[in-house]
Chain A
Amino acid sequence: MVETQERLLLEVKGLKKYFPITKGFLRKTIGYVKAVDGVDFYIRDRETLGLVGESGCGKTTTGRCLPRAIEPTEGKILFRDRETGEMINIRELDKEGLKRVRKQIQIIFQDPYSSLNPRMTLLQIVGEPLMINEGMHGSELEDRVAELLRSVGLRPEYMRRYPHAFSGGQRQRIGIARALALNPRFIVCDEPVSALDVSVQAQILNLLEDLRDQLGLTYLFVAHDLSVVKHISDRVAVMYVGKLVEMAETDELYESPKHPYTEALMSAVPRPDPRVARLKQRIVLAGEVANPANPPSGCYFHPRCRYAQPICSQELPTLREISPGHFVSCHLADQLTLQGIVKGVSP
């Protein structure tokens, strides 16, 4: 996978995260949940890559592997260090190196209720990274925290308050302010709007976009909502049971999906448009999502795939570039014509 035109910020190769399944008093390992099972992707500087898939697909685990919040089992995580301008393998860093690079990579979490320490004030929550990493304190710290709170649309006077005094949307803003404290380049946004009310989602999405433009940020935007992901992402990758099945520029993916799972996923999204809903020929998948501890033979999706051929149950497909910038992992990708989303004007 070579990207030479714009500068790469991140390149992930062969990423795996296996969680052991243990049994018995002595905790003998009897198998593995292959949460992330050999994933490759890249993100360019200032780009937003959307990562979609349903529960158990491994998207959250993938996101958390990048700053090594979870230790990967295998693979390379190449990141362009701000100081040297070189691509370094995050997995090979020692404690000091990792601490330094982690300032450049931050995470925003899904649940605004459990991701903030209820016993810390906003000043402490947002200021903690500054206190620990830059030794900031006193009025210098307060000024910086005030600036951060303002940048996410919160009043600086709030810094003496505790999280419980705020709504879900406001707490999410606090989480964002905290993520921005050390001037990161790259933020893993892990389902940042899923737990929010519909009308608040728009506010937070707009905020994330504004910050991205103002601060030149790069995002990995992990989410299950395809409409949200389309809105904010330049490119999108689709995961199923630990594997990346498709990746392309956003418009290309949504208009011309090449993987049957992508097609089914898009078809399943309920449209807030009664006329379209009435006309729509929906693809309803049979069966359940495969078990990452015991996936099917060959292509993991084949038991639910309406196009499956014998080869699909025998051989695992590999991710290949079917057209410039469009990657898909399917034996039949060249032969299939799949249905995407027709671009239209909303009523």
Chain B
Amino acid sequence: MTDSDILLEVKNLKTYFFLEEGTVRAVDGADFDIKRGTTLGVVGESGCGKSVTARSILRIVEPPGRVVDGQILYHRYLRRDHDFSLAEVVDLAQLDARSKKMREIRGGEIAIVFQEPMTSFSPVHTIGDQIIEAILLHQDVTKAEARALTIEMLQRVGMPKPSITVDQYAFELSGGMRQRAMIAMALSCNPQLLIADEPTTALDVTTEAQILDLMRELQEQMGMAIMYITHNLGVIAEMAQQVVVMYLGKMVERADVDTVFYDAQHPYTRALLRSIPRIEDQRGRRLEAIKGIVPDPYALPSGCPFHPRCSSRMEICGEVEPPLVEVAPGHWVRCHLYG
């Protein structure tokens, strides 16, 4: 992996929420890289911190939450035709969230697509107006040019009748169309990195297939990286080259996609893979459920957060937090079985 390949380095990221009831350590140690043009899958269940990680990168974590530690090193490139040269490395964690530089990056170079496009769009503005606004914020074009770009982008994301839908409101569109509009808005400024936070979870499976296809196609055309966040292991297998598994704020495993699916080492990853029903399964196979429930974020277990539910637990697991260990080149696991 050469230096010019790396787009984003997240090192020991911690984002905490300081609430009256206590401190929720939503992200408590995330470490991963994203290479240009590739897809990183971030998988985990509710409360694992995957969405907060995405928001931390974009510095849109709402108070009382904030990034308390770690680095988010964004390798900013200057684009000259199809040549990229490194302009600077910016630690996004150190930038003021409202600074000019952060606002340039957010939307212009790193964009995000959310799960619920209905709540992400303003209900009182047309989707065209919202996309035009995003373009005008980041590009030096006239309003007429921005509108033309918007219609072109809507066309590109497969929106039926783009010159009509550009003047429609979010509530007038179906779920699949709203998500396409959201993707159009995210891609309108040719971002280097697209963060997709459960973009297809609320969609039907046939619509999801269309959207996944679309994202892969656009990725190839535009050379952008994708950080794909989801709890759906099937989607991860389809989309990601590298995978990060999170549990209660901590990254517990990280490797390339084949390794995670065929040679996972962390007990949580293995348990998760064993517990899902698979469409090719013989019928009559009993699902191996993970016993217990995800604990209350205010009352996290000591030591390794997974230990109460772990079938491989040892005494040390309840006392000491496990270190992150590279068990094979590029394969990292946070577990006392290995460190």
Contacts and interface: CB of A to CB of B under 8 A. Distances in A.
Q: Do A and B bind each other?
A: yes
Interface of A: 54-55, 167, 169-170, 197-203, 205-206, 209, 224, 226-228, 230-231, 250-251, 254, 264-277, 282, 284-285, 288-289, 341-344, 346-347
Contacts of A342: 280
Contacts of B235: 270
Interface in B35-93: 45-46
Interface in B251-282: 257-258, 261-262, 271-273, 275-282
B210 interface: yes
Interface residues of B, number: 49
B287 A231 contact: yes
Given A269-B234, A273-B237, A288-B174, A227 B277 contact: yes
A267 B176 CA distance: 18
Contact of B283 (A167, A199, A251, A268): A251
A273 B280 CA distance: 10
A282 B278 CA distance: 17
Given A197-B46, A270-B237, A346 B289 contact: no
B237 A277 contact: yes
B26 to A, nearest CB: 16
Contacts of B9: none
Given A265-B206, A268-B206, A199 B289 contact: yes
Contact of B237 (A201, A272, A288): A272
9 contacts: A198-B275, A199-B290, A202-B276, A203-B290, A205-B277, A230-B277, A267-B209, A270-B237, A274-B261
B306 to A, nearest CB: 11
A268 B205 contact: yes
Contacts of B176: 288
A268 B275 contact: no
A202 B205 contact: no
B293 A228 contact: no
A264 B204 CA distance: 12
Contact of B209 (A224, A282, A289): A282
A55 B204 contact: yes
Which among A265, A271, A341 has the greatest number of chain B C-beta atoms within 10 A?
Answer: A271
A202 B275 contact: yes
A231 B277 contact: yes
Interface in B208-234: 208-210, 212-213, 231-234
B131 interface: no
Given A206-B287, A231-B281, A274-B261, A198 B276 contact: yes
Nearest to A343: B280
Nearest to A289: B204
A230 B277 CA distance: 8
A290 to B, nearest CB: 11
Contacts of B271: 199
B237 A271 contact: yes
B279 A230 contact: yes
Given A205-B287, A230-B279, A273-B237, A54 B231 contact: no
Nearest to A193: B277
Contacts of A202: 275-277, 287-290
B161 interface: no
B45 to A, nearest CB: 4
Those 7 A-B pairs whose CB atoms lie nearest each other, nearest first: A270-B234, A202-B289, A54-B204, A272-B233, A268-B209, A202-B287, A202-B275
Given A205-B277, A230-B283, A288-B177, A270 B208 contact: yes
A127 to B, nearest CB: 24
Contacts of A230: 277, 279, 281, 283
B175 to A, nearest CB: 8
A285 B276 contact: no
